[in-house]
Structure formats: structure tokens, C-alpha cells
Amino acid sequence: MASSFYTLRRLLNMAQMYPQKIAIVLDDQGWTYAELIERVEHVACQLHRLNMVKGQIIYQFVERSFDMVCGILSIMCVGGVYCPLNPSDPTERIITLLEQMQGQYVLVHEKTRKRFPTTSVQHIVGLDVILSPLLVVEDLDKLPDCNEHGAVYIICTSGTTGRQKAVVHTHKSFASSTAAFIQWDAGMYTIRDQILQVAACSWILHLTELSLPLALGGTLVLLRPDGHLNMDYFSQTLINQQVTTLTIGSGIISALTNYLEMSRQFKTFKFVHNLITAGETVKSQQWTKFTTFLSSSNVRIFSLYGMSECNGVLGCQLSDINDTIIPIGYPLPGVRCLLVNEQCEVISSTGITSEIGEIHIGGPTLFHCYLHNPEQTTKMFTTIDNEVYMKTGDLARYNARGQLVHAGRIDFQLKIRGQRVETCEIENTITTWSPTKTSNCLVTKLSEKDDLLVAYIISNDSEVNIEEIRAYCNKRLRQYMVPSYFIVLERFPLNANGKIDRKQLPLPTKGDDLLANFTRTEDQPMSRLEERIHSLWCSALRVNAVPRHMNCFALGGSSLSLMQLFNYYQFHLAPDEQLNVHDFFINPTIANHAQLVINSQPRMHTSCSPLHLVQGILFFTK
């Protein structure tokens, strides 16, 4: 075993001490620590026999499952560089990433094998095939050692140049990050904990969620694929698996609050002791609603700050859960943090000041580089008092306790449902649709209250087809990166300095221009069920009418809108049926949703008491 690999070394120790303890559970299935190690050894040795050379990139194109965990640990065991590919990402986006990375190995399983695009990747390895049946394997100690400065994983994030950035982390940064969480005096991760894995594999947090419980002898609780979108299933998992610790962002907090208000389910957090909020700051009104469901539990709430380039580095426990101004906290053990103002002066954390500065992070958890992009890598780092720091671009100030409080960005980078988004990547995608028709583009948020993107397109062609542009974006961008609104302009409004005046950009019309033909018979609801769904859509999207075949996203809808609609379908329209949330996401029209409800299969009755449909509509209008 690699002597420098902190997490796997701890995992092996736990397996030796507690071989029959449950390591991973998913619904009614589980693996003990002994079974997990046996499977990791098996996959690692099979990769070794495929002549995988230490330091090679190994993609993993796998949905959330036991195979996912096994694949990650196996790649690291053989000295490979783990690079997750999200199966829910558009095919064109995945192809672009594969061309950029030039890896030659990919792990898949039965559910994703046929969806992996045809590319130059030479070795497509089926995890399910390797694991069945298990064969006699070599000892892990005979596999390659891993240097602490060698790459261990790559996380791809939105890029300022119009292409994704491949963030490379080393064994040292991964081990340091894991150690920082373990040493954090909050004590939220212990051998007794059941820790839920929520984050998608495209978010660096999924590695923290996975490594911490296994390194400490706890139990890792997995959700089904898309389980984080179904709040009824999510809530039941917290209860049934007696989850004690979980990390969630603003999107799930909003959807879960919506579900709890409808279902009147007050036992969701019965076993939860530690709840960590990460990603985008939760809106104060939403936070107030959410905390009402925590008042009867013993849950401690923490905030966590981090990014792909440094993982989680700041955090704190909230002293008052009713405080709507949530700090991002103090540096974790081993992490250095400075606040630097516009004059490049370090702001004191002890003085009484409200001065705002840029967050600079130092210490061993920092990433190594952006793959094949040395210029961008150099721009991220600076030296202060002979120590290397990374410039985050995030602004903050100190509160009276010396905790950092987020105060915006120094650039136009956005956060959409907890994910950092470089608008350049979206703008570049739109202008490449037709360079002759779209000469320039600017993407911004609709408002601070709405996680909706607006794309302003400069074109002299009055016949620009917005739906073609939307379809083009859907094939190349993640769903949360596709603008909800596209507005065509002849020119950008400018201020006195000749710069774009963002305050003068016209606001979208909430799709009213697309509803002009709603009087057509084929656009009207065709049944009583469609009429009820239509009422919910109008309330959710804040429009007067929705054609039955119009895509939800074309009207400013989002994944959060669909999660809330799905909640209502479960409680108002199909309380006795089993609905598949994924089907509703890939078929986002009223007509399709009505048909999915009709075709749903019976399920066991739940103990929750649903609200009346009219009450559901009122929730959207609040």
C-alpha cells in the first residue's frame, strides 16, 4: 500500500479492526469493511493486469452505487489519477473533456456502458464484469507506491477561457484535506456516524463525503441515482438509515423545505446530529423556513466554505440557527487564510472593522495545477510573507467573532445552486452556435433572489432561432448552466466609460412572448389531469398560461422548479403511485408529465398527510 496515501491506509486499518462492521449501505443492501477491501483489491489488481501505468488518468463513468465507491478507491490504489465523468452531463460536453484530457482508461458499469460516447479511449472496463465472480488476487502491498506529489484526482470545473478547467490534486493535498476534517474540533465525523453521500461526482465534495466515514470506521450511506432529486426518498433515507451527518447546499434545502411543508413530516431529522451547509449562501427567508423543522431535534449546524482548487478549508458551528447571516467560518486545521484589500494589504481579523477583502488560502490542501494550462495556474497564486497563497476571487469581511462572512465576488463568476459558474464558458458556447449570427454574448443572473441565467446575444439577424440555441446549449452545458432566458439585442447599453452598463440590460418577459399563440387548441390542456398540472406550472413559473408541449426550461424553469413540481405530483396527483423523478426531468412538458402520472405504478401508502391541491398552489405564490 502506498505509504503516502493517508485515506486508504486508514481504511485498511479500519478493515483489520472491524472487518464485519458495515462500511457502505444503499437502501436494503450493504458491504462490510472486509467485503469492501476484498472488492477494491480485486478491481485494483485487474487494472494492474491491464498494464495501467502509475500516473495515468482513469475516468469513471458510473452512477452513484457500490461500484462507484469501489472504482474510486481502486484507481487510487494502483496509482492512477481518478477523473469522474458525470453520466448526467451532455454527451458533447463529455467528448470535449475526453479530448482535452487524453486518458486511455474508463471504468463503467452496466447502466452506463451504452451511454459512454465513442471516442479514442482504448480501454473500457466494466466494474460489474470485474466484480462477478471474485477471483484470487494479489496483495495490495505489491502494487505501485504513490509519491505524495503525484496526482491522485482531477475535478473539472467551469473555465474562464470558455473551456472546462481540469483541477489536479495530489496525494498530499487529498491527505491533508482529509486530515483537516478529522482534526476539526467539531467532532462531526466518528466511528459511530452514518454519513450520507449527497454531492454529485462532478463536485469535489463527493470525495470528502466518501473518504471521511471510511477513514474513521463510520458507515457511508448512499442514495440511489437521482435520489437527491426526490425529496420523499431523501427524507425517508435520513430516517430509515438513521443518518447522523450530512452536507447539503441551498438547492436541496429549498426543495426539502418545500417537501416538509407539504408532507408535514417532522421526523426527517430525528437521527441527524450534524448538518453542514455548503455551496451558495442560503436565502434568509428560505433559511428561516428550513430551521423550523430543526427546532425539535438535537442537530448542530455548521457552515463550510471551499472550492475545487482547495476543497473545504473554512468552517464553523452556528451559535444561533435562527441567525440569517451565516458566516463561512475559520480556517480548518493546517489551513492558512488571509483577507487582502484592494491595496494588497492584509486585513486584521482582530480589529473592529467592516473592511472587505479577497479571501486568500494557503497550506497543503491547495491544488497542484490546471492540467495543460500553466498560464492560468500561475495567475491563481501569489506570495505573501514568503508563503504561497491562492487567490479565490471571493470577497469577505470579518464579523465580531473573527469569522469570515461572504461579501460577493471581485469578478463576474456566479454561483448557481451551489456550483461555481464561469459565464465565459456559457458565452463561448452560445457564440460558437453560429459565429455569423451571434457576434457577442453576455450572461448574467436574473437577480440575486433567482438562480436563473439570462443570455444577452448581440446579433443583426432578427430571425435568430432561440430554441435552436437552447438545444445547442443543452448538448454542451450542464443543465444548471443553460440560460433560462435568451434576449437578442442590436448592441449592449454602455455607460459613460464605454463599458457595458449591466443595470440597463432589459429584463426578460417571463416567456409571455412565447405564449401569444396559447389560444390554439393543440396548446390547451387536453384532460382534467393536464388542467391540474397546468395550474401548478403557472404558479411555479409565475406565468398566466403554459402550452402543453412547451419545455419547462424555456419558461424560466430550473431543476429546483421540477423538484418542487415532482413533490406536488407525489402528494396531490399520485399519492399511491411510485414516480420516477428522472423521467420527469428528461420529459419536462405538461403533456409528458401527465402521461407519466397516468403510467405510474402502484406503491405502498405513505404515512404522510398530503395537503390539498389549492394549498400546494399557494406555496408557489408565497
Residue 55 backbone class (left: φ over 0; alpha: ψ -120 to 50; beta: rest): left
pLDDT of 168:
98
User: Is this prediction's pTM over 0.75?
Assistant: yes
Domain 515-621: what homologous superfamily? ACP-like (1.10.1200.10)
pLDDT of 612:
45
DSSP string, 409-439: ESSS-EEETTEEE-HHHHHHHHHHH-TTT--
**Closest of 75, 79, 60, 68 to residue 124, by C-alpha:** 60
Residues (pLDDT < 50) of the chain are: 1-4, 605-622
End-to-end, the C-alpha distance of the chain in Å comes to 56
pLDDT of 137:
56
pLDDT of 376:
94
Cβ burial, residue 66 (10 Å; 0-12/13-18/19+): buried
* CATH 3.30.300.30 fits domain 422-508: yes
CATH 3.30.300.30 domain extents, the chain: 422-508
The CA–CA distances, whole Å, from 294 to 241, 260, 271, 289, 418 equal: 18, 11, 11, 10, 22
Torsion of CA 205, 209, 215, 216, to 10 degrees: 130
Which residues face 360 on adjacent strands? 338, 391
- Whole-angstrom Cα distance, residue 203 to residue 571? 31
pLDDT of 379:
95
Q: Scanning the structure block, which residue is given the C-alpha cell 469501489?
A: 70
pLDDT of 607:
45
Q: Scanning the structure block, which residue is given the C-alpha cell 488571509?
A: 338
pLDDT of 508:
86
Handedness of CA 67, 72, 73, 76 (dihedral sign): positive
Q: Phi and psi at residue 176, in whole multiples of 5°?
A: -65, -40
pLDDT of 265:
82
What is the amino acid identity at position 449? K
Neighbouring C-beta atoms of residue 513, cutoff 10 Å: 9
Name the grid cell of 370: 490546471
CATH 1.10.1200.10 domain extents, the chain: 515-621
pLDDT of 135:
56
- Whole-angstrom Cα distance, residue 190 to residue 197? 15
pLDDT of 222:
99
- Whole-angstrom Cα distance, residue 441 to residue 436? 13
pLDDT of 1:
37
Secondary structure, 3-state, 458-470:
ECCCCCCCHHHHH
Residues 90-149: pLDDT tens digits?
A: 999 999 999 999 999 999 998 999 999 988 898 999 998 888 776 555 555 555 667 788
Q: What is residue 132's DSSP assignment? A: S
Name the grid cell of 423: 459565464
Strands (E), 265-319: 274-278, 300-307, 311-317
- Whole-angstrom Cα distance, residue 554 to residue 473? 12
